[in-house]
């Protein structure tokens, strides 16, 4: 297909929504019905929590859904059909707001038709001005929709109370406090029309409020909750699997009791127990209930705990993940460098590599690097052949023979050399200029060297600060760094429009000492300064000639 014929799509926005019960069932490859995981032979039980259709953990086994091995299989979701609706603990605040602002009888928002038209006009105006409607705007509508009698059907409205984590009740003057079960809440949510939901900040296509009351629970793939085999041969299951086992057991007992026509009290107790297990499965630190624990007394680490905080998925594994082709050490000042250079220790330059393609123009240079190998600078660590095979030069005895076999098309992973592009960063990265592109200057000693003028954008000083160096591995990445991230292109700060890279501290002090009125230099001092600055030319005339020649700053 020609490039002109290709359909180009531009992503404008990403919208987050809630999965409906139908979508959860469509996403699922198996209904999980048994709490058991493995049979006596150690094979996953069908319809169990480690069902082969949910993915595989064994390197040689193939997934029963996609047919791929563990490396290529992304994992597949299952689902549990809940015996009774269950409140999703993370949506309780939204459910509380909806119960207070909509009619208990007809489901309409508790505003008159005139007020609704005015609100719609306000939303339209705000959207035209800002492009979006802020949350604070919808909060104001929620505060306004508090009519004691429904303007649409005339039904009397009662006070709703919420007790953490998931209990709702209605204060009826004649009969006192009446608990609202998840089934009752779901029925109320289903009655709310789409046009009223839009007034409360909902997109009905992406998130209907009744979907916040769970009827179907998604079961994550085995890849998310792998089991570990201990040295003794005993299998240890993941915390999520333990929690799902509890949910399935109680769910089964509840179904059996409902089918057998058990007393309401037993069904109510089992429903509350199921609600507890589903709540702690989502968030084991929810206030108002004790956390679920192992037999040892350790609290289970469930979904919410895996995502939030410093050790969570986002900050630890995504923002703070470990990467290859990077180095970290202490920084030192070096006024002899250019502002866009970074001094890299020789030991670092011999460990970090840049892949360079062999061509007929650089083949001789590449051969010398291959002969030098990893021990001698400048050298190389690896050769990658056109068929993809990687040769580690550390273990090659006859490197000269290998160098002779080098041909255009091979890739040599060579040591860093002067002029290579590197990306330099100091944490915390608070603005764009906390990470910039520099050019490598290989120097002795063990610290990164930095020009003093580049300290302000990094907020760096030399009292023990450490910085990170990253080496781009593709020509595209290097070009992007050169075009967008060079230090000289970041001089003006977007925060205040002024220069952020410039003389600070030592520079200003030195300039003041040089140029103050009482400062005079002898001929010896002037000559030393001019030689240090690389000046070639006649000696300037002295400011004072007698009794001895003196020069001003």
Q: Using the predicted structure, report yes or no on whether residue 1 has a pLDDT greater than 70.
A: no
- Give 33's contacts (C-beta < 8 A, 6+ positions apart): 47, 248, 252
Per-residue model confidence (pLDDT) at position 87: 94
String of b and e for 215-249 (b: at least 16 CB within 10 Å)?
bbbebbbbbbbebeeeeeeeeebbbbbbbbbbbbe
- What is the rounded average pLDDT of the residues 417-440? 95
Q: Using the predicted structure, report yes or no on whether residue 376 has a pLDDT greater than 90.
A: yes
Going from the C-alpha of 8 to that of each of 5, 69, 339, the distances in angstroms are: 9, 33, 40
Q: What six digits make up the tokens of 466?
A: 């450490």
Query: 506 vs 428, which has greater pLDDT?
Result: 428
- What is the rounded average pLDDT of the residues 409-437? 95
Longest dimension (CA), the chain: 118
Percent of the chain, pLDDT > 70?
Answer: 99
- What is the rounded average pLDDT of the residues 428-433? 92
| pLDDT tens digits for range 320-368 | 888 999 999 999 999 889 999 999 999 999 999 999 999 999 999 999 9
Q: Using the predicted structure, report yes or no on whether residue 3 has a pLDDT greater than 80.
A: no
CB 302 within 8 A of CB 285: no
| Domain residue ranges in the chain | 87-215, 330-352+417-515, 354-415, 517-552
Q: What six digits make up the tokens of 523?
A: 């001929």
d(CA 41, CA 44): 9
pTM higher than 0.85 for the full model? no
- What is the rounded average pLDDT of the residues 407-422? 95
d(CA 27, CA 21): 10
Residue 19 neighbours by CB distance under 10 Å: 17
Per-residue model confidence (pLDDT) at position 4: 65
Among 2-16, 86-100, 138-152, 470-484, whose mean pLDDT is lowest? 2-16
The domain over range 354-415 is classified in CATH as 3.30.230.10: no
Per-residue model confidence (pLDDT) at position 377: 93
What mean pLDDT, rounded, does the chain reach? 90
Per-residue model confidence (pLDDT) at position 2: 57
d(CA 120, CA 3): 44
Q: Collapsing DSSP states into helix, strand and coil, what is residue 420?
A: coil
| pLDDT tens digits for range 502-551 | 887 777 888 888 888 888 889 999 999 889 888 888 998 998 988 999 98
d(CA 107, CA 85): 19
- Give 541's contacts (C-beta < 8 A, 6+ positions apart): none
- What is the rounded average pLDDT of the residues 52-70? 90
d(CA 405, CA 276): 68
| pLDDT tens digits for range 287-307 | 889 988 988 889 988 999 999
Q: Using the predicted structure, report yes or no on whether residue 244 has a pLDDT greater than 90.
A: yes
- Give 401's contacts (C-beta < 8 A, 6+ positions apart): none
Q: Using the predicted structure, report yes or no on whether residue 32 has a pLDDT greater than 80.
A: yes
pLDDT band, residue 146 (cuts 50/70/90): confident
CA neighbor of 443 nearest in space, from 372, 533, 377: 377
CB 110 within 8 A of CB 147: yes
CATH of 517-552, one of 1.10.3470, 3.30.700, 4.10.320, 3.10.350: 4.10.320
CATH code for the structural domain at 330-352+417-515: 2.40.40.20
3-state SS string for 146-205? CCCECCCCCCECCEEEEECCCEEEEEECCCEEEEECHHHHHHHHHHCCHHHHHHCCCCCC
Matching residue, tokens 């399935």: 248
Per-residue model confidence (pLDDT) at position 154: 85
- Give one word for 270, left, alpha or beta, with left for phi > 0 and alpha for psi -120 to 50: alpha
> What Rg, from alpha-carbon coordinates, does the chain have?
34
């Amino acid at each position: 297909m020609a490039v002109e014929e290709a359909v180009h799509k531009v992503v404008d926005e990403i919208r987050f929504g809630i999965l409906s019960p139908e979508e959860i069932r469509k996403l699922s490859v198996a209904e999980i019905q048994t709490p058991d995981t493995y049979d006596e032979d150690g094979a996953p039980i069908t319809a169990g929590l480690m069902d082969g259709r949910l993915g595989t953990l064994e390197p040689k086994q193939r997934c029963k859904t996609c047919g791929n091995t563990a490396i290529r299989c992304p994992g597949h979701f299952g689902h549990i059909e809940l015996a009774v609706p269950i409140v999703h603990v993370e949506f309780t605040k939204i459910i509380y707001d909806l119960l207070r602002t909509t009619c208990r009888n007809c489901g309409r928002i508790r505003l008159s038709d005139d007020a609704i038209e005015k609100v719609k006009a306000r939303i339209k105006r705000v959207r035209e001005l800002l492009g979006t409607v802020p949350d604070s705007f919808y909060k104001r509508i929620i505060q306004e929709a508090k009519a004691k009698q429904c303007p649409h059907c005339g039904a009397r409205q009662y006070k709703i109370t919420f007790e953490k984590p998931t209990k709702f009740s209605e204060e009826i003057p004649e009969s006192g406090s009446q608990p609202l079960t998840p089934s009752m809440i779901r029925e109320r949510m289903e009655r709310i029309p789409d046009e009223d939901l839009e007034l409360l900040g909902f997109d009905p296509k992406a998130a209907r409020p009744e979907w916040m009351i769970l009827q179907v629970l998604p079961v994550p793939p085995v890849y998310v909750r792998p089991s570990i085999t201990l040295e003794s041969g005993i299998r240890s299951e993941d915390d999520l699997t333990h929690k799902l086992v509890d949910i399935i057991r109680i769910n089964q007992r509840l179904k059996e009791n409902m089918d057998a026509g058990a007393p309401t009290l037993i069904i109510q107790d089992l429903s509350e127990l199921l609600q507890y297990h589903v709540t702690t499965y989502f968030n084991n630190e929810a206030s108002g209930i004790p956390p679920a624990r192992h037999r040892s007394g350790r609290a289970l680490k469930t979904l919410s705990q895996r995502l939030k905080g410093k050790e969570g998925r986002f900050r630890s594994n995504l923002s703070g993940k470990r990467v290859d082709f990077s180095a970290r050490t202490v920084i030192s000042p070096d006024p002899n460098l250019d502002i866009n250079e970074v001094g890299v220790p020789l030991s670092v330059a011999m460990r970090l590599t840049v892949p360079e393609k062999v061509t007929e123009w650089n083949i001789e240079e590449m051969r010398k690097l291959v002969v030098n190998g990893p021990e001698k600078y400048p050298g190389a660590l690896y050769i990658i052949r056109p068929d993809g095979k990687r040769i580690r030069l550390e273990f090659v005895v006859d490197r000269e023979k290998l160098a002779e076999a080098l041909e255009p098309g091979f890739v040599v992973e060579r040591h860093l050399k002067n002029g290579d592009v590197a990306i330099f960063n100091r944490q915390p990265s608070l603005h764009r200029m906390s990470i910039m592109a520099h050019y490598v200057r290989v120097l002795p000693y063990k610290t990164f060297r930095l020009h003093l003028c580049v300290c302000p954008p990094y907020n760096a000083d030399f009292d023990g600060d450490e910085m990170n160096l990253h080496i781009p591995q593709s020509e595209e990445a290097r070009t992007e760094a050169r075009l967008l991230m060079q230090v000289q292109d970041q001089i003006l700060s977007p925060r205040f429009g002024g220069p952020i890279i410039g003389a600070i501290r030592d520079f200003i002090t030195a300039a003041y000492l040089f140029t103050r009125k009482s400062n005079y230099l002898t001929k010896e001092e002037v000559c030393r300064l001019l030689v240090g600055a690389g000046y070639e030319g006649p000696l300037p005339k002295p400011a004072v000639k007698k009794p001895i020649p003196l020069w001003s700053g």
